[in-house]
Structure 1
Amino acid sequence: MQLSNEMTDALSAEAALGTLRGAAAKRWQRLSAADSKLIDQVASWEQLLAPMANWLPETPVPTGVWNGIEQVLFAAPVPLPARRSTNARWIGATLAMAASLGLWLALPSAPTTISTPALQLKTLATLSSEHQLARWQISQRSDGQVSVSVNVAWQQPANRSLQLWAIDTEGTPHSLGIITLVEQSSTLNLSVTQRDQLSRVTVFAISDEPLGGSLNALPSGPVIFSGKASKS
């Protein structure tokens, strides 16, 4: 059965969240192995959802959970009966290893997949506005680039562009690039100079500019979202 675009998008979101189970998860693995676009969809969902974890309050782990982990990891080993000889222990261990190996060989093999390390995100700022419900999350990826995501569907006019600015300690704005949203998120590929400017940012802002961005080094359109840089 051919899956619709809506169905593959929904399954991609579940795969990113880790909620696929059983036969559905196995089938998704087979589909992803045959179609790299599905892997890209999952990566897009992961990039969109990951910053949302930073908005949740930290919840302490219950003491009972830690006690259970320590009991499993650091419990004292059970002594073997004294009358069992060293040879008997080695024979028993060998038989156990052989049985485990036989069981492993008997299990159906899953298709081999090559996984790449997940990108880590560091929150730089959350931008808001008095007149808009949208909230923009600005994050720096572990590869040095900047991720921009919005919590609601945003429709930008075809003849206008959103531009991200980093304002330094002297109040000078520096353009970080044009925000081109794909499923409510965008990645800005920064130059070495722009990455260096991130360490001196006090405020981030998004302005509404003519198509392609401001024609000079300053915002030419209204600033519609802004927020203070997070303290590292």
Structure 2
Amino acid sequence: MTAAELAIGLLEGEERAAALRRVLADPAFAREVESWRNRLAGLFDDYREVAAPDAVAVRLAAPVETSRPRSAWPILALATALAAAVALFVVVRPGPAPLPIPVVQPHRMMVASLMMTDKSTSVAALVDMTTGEMSIPDADMAPDGKSAELWMIGDDGVPKAMGLLAAQGASRMTLTSDQRRQLAAGVTLAVSVEPIGGSPTGKPTGPVVAAGKLSVA
């Protein structure tokens, strides 16, 4: 109780001096005082100081006509002060600041129409340049026992591997940041037939079965 009274400022005179001396001599008591201060400090962080009306100052300065026994008044005073602090916190606490409206950046999309070499059909390869996600619908480009591998061919004419297409169903892959930097309008995407697991040389070894140039969607 003494620690709470010191923290909230209820002690005066010799009682306050004795409590402060105890703070210096008793680490456990000092921690208790600091604990009370931390509990109460958060209630007032959001409020600016306001001068009390003159009438309040006059009442505080007036002599006390009666006194309560030492055993009774600290509990009452502490309870009153805590109740006032909580009431102040509940009644005048500022409302929460409005949340900022997130800015949604548009995704930059590119697309290539991969025409099959037999001219039978074409398949759209869609690239989200913002996330690096690439999708190609089911096209059944490689026969059984083979893999379909995707390549990019830029101005230097050198094929660079991008990944294997799914044996069944749609193909989805996440491009690396380096691959995204190399993709641009006019770059050719091509699919070749390779041994299971992809080209063993890092270059196309089988026939190219589909190809098309990238353009901005």
Q: TM-score range by the shorter chain?
A: 0.3 to 0.5
Q: Which of structures 1 and 2 has the larger relative contact order (alpha carbons within 8 angstroms, sep 6+)? A: 2
Which structure has the greater CA radius of gyration? 2
* TM-score, with structure 1 as normaliser: 0.42
